[in-house]
């Protein structure tokens, strides 16, 4: 059984996984001042955050062109794969995975299994890495999907943005238009709830919100951290991410904790300086 793993450019993978032969990545477009860039193909995070500072218009993202995804699936079939597990950003923040699900059955050349990660970035990257390990061991798509489903049930992320307007204007904060007025002067903690971003707790400053997020995460994980991978994720805010990682390691030196960054697509919706802590269960 030869299974290909397809994901999108919002997945954050560790270096050792980026060149795996069974991995295929669909770039998601960002639109900045009328110009379209494919994430990680035409633009990388560093350049994006520089351009963002100079841009006149509010940036936007869009779903990838479906014709290109169909072409990719067909190319994978032609390379001799038997199946595709296609792992994508949460349906609560993008319609992409539902679009894939709506045509997957019509691809005659190969069996395609779209998987809604209900998350993105580092935690989704960990799902992709697990799927790649299992594909290398010739596990069936059903076994891979079962492991992914277990991971999805235990994944959580808490995030703090510097400016809520990005999320509200992009329509990615649940009830955003209704609650924005009450939140403007504070740095609320947001969380993923069944794949959508919701308000979790109202806090006054970024520093306090991050301390509180750490507390929430540690309460979830408990004293034995060995069953989890933790991601500290930042939008061009490396210094704060390092501080947060070090704070976690000072409490739990054996914790499996990585720093990741939000690329152009997520950066568009969270804005620069956002920071998040996510954690995922290790299922194997």
22 or 61, CB closer to ligand MYR? 61
Shortest distance, position 276 Cβ to ligand MYR, whole Å: 5
Whose tokens are 């210094």? That residue is 239
Select from 25, 94, 130, 236 the one that contacts ligand MYR (CB under 6 A): 94
CA distance 165 to 184: 9
Using the rule CB under 6 A, is 128 a contact of ligand MYR?
Answer: no
- What is the separation of C-alpha 243 from the centre of its chain, rounded to a whole number of angstroms? 21
Q: Where does 59-202 have alpha helices with state H?
A: 66-78, 96-103, 121-136, 141-154, 165-169, 176-183
The stretch among 15-23, 76-84, 219-227, 264-272 that binds ligand MYR (CB under 6 A) is 264-272
114 and 36 Cβ atoms separated by less than 8 Å: no
Spell out the residues 6+ positions from residue 118 whose beta carbon is closer than 8 angstroms to its own.
Answer: 90, 91, 92, 152, 155, 192, 194, 195
Select from 270, 275, 279, 280 the one that contacts ligand MYR (CB under 6 A): 270
Q: Show contacts with ligand MYR in window 231-250 (CB under 6 A).
A: 233
First to last CA, the chain: 20
Using the rule CB under 6 A, is 120 a contact of ligand MYR?
Answer: yes
Contact string 179-198 vs ligand MYR (x = CB under 6 A) = --------------------
Shortest distance, position 139 Cβ to ligand MYR, whole Å: 27
Spell out the residues 6+ positions from residue 26 whose beta carbon is closer than 8 angstroms to its own.
Answer: 6, 7, 8, 9, 64, 68, 69, 72
Q: Show contacts with ligand MYR in window 133-162 (CB under 6 A).
A: 157, 159
Using the rule CB under 6 A, is 172 a contact of ligand MYR?
Answer: yes
Closest chain position to ligand MYR (CB): 94
The residues that touch ligand MYR, with contacts defined as CB under 6 A, are 28, 61-63, 93-96, 120-121, 157, 159, 172, 233, 265-266, 269-270, 276, 278
């Amino acid at each position: 059984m030869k299974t290909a793993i397809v994901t999108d450019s919002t997945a954050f993978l560790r270096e050792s996984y980026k060149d795996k032969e069974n991995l295929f990545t669909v770039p998601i477009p960002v639109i900045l001042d009328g110009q379209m860039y494919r994430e990680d193909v035409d633009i990388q995070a560093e350049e994006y955050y520089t351009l963002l500072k100079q841009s006149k218009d509010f940036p936007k993202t869009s779903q990838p062109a479906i014709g290109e995804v169909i072409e990719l699936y067909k190319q994978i079939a032609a390379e001799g794969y038997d199946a595709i597990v296609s792992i994508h950003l949460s349906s609560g923040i993008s319609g992409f995975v539902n679009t894939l699900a709506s045509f997957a059955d019509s691809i005659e050349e190969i069996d395609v299994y779209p998987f809604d990660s209900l998350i993105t970035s580092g935690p989704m990257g960990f799902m992709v890495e697990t799927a790649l390990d299992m594909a290398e061991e010739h596990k069936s798509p059903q076994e891979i999907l079962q492991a992914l489903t277990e991971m999805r049930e235990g994944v959580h992320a808490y995030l703090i943005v510097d400016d809520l307007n990005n999320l509200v204007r992009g329509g990615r904060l649940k009830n955003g238009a209704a609650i924005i007025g009450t939140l403007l002067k504070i740095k609320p903690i947001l969380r993923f709830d069944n794949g959508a971003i919701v308000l979790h707790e109202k806090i006054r400053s970024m520093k306090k919100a991050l301390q509180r997020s750490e507390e929430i995460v540690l309460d979830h994980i408990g004293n034995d951290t060995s069953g989890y991978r933790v991601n500290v994720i930042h939008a061009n805010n490396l210094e704060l991410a390092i501080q947060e990682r070090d704070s976690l390691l000072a409490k739990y030196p054996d914790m499996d904790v990585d720093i990741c960054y939000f690329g152009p697509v997520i950066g568009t919706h969270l804005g620069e300086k956002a920071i998040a802590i996510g954690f995922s269960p290790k299922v194997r």
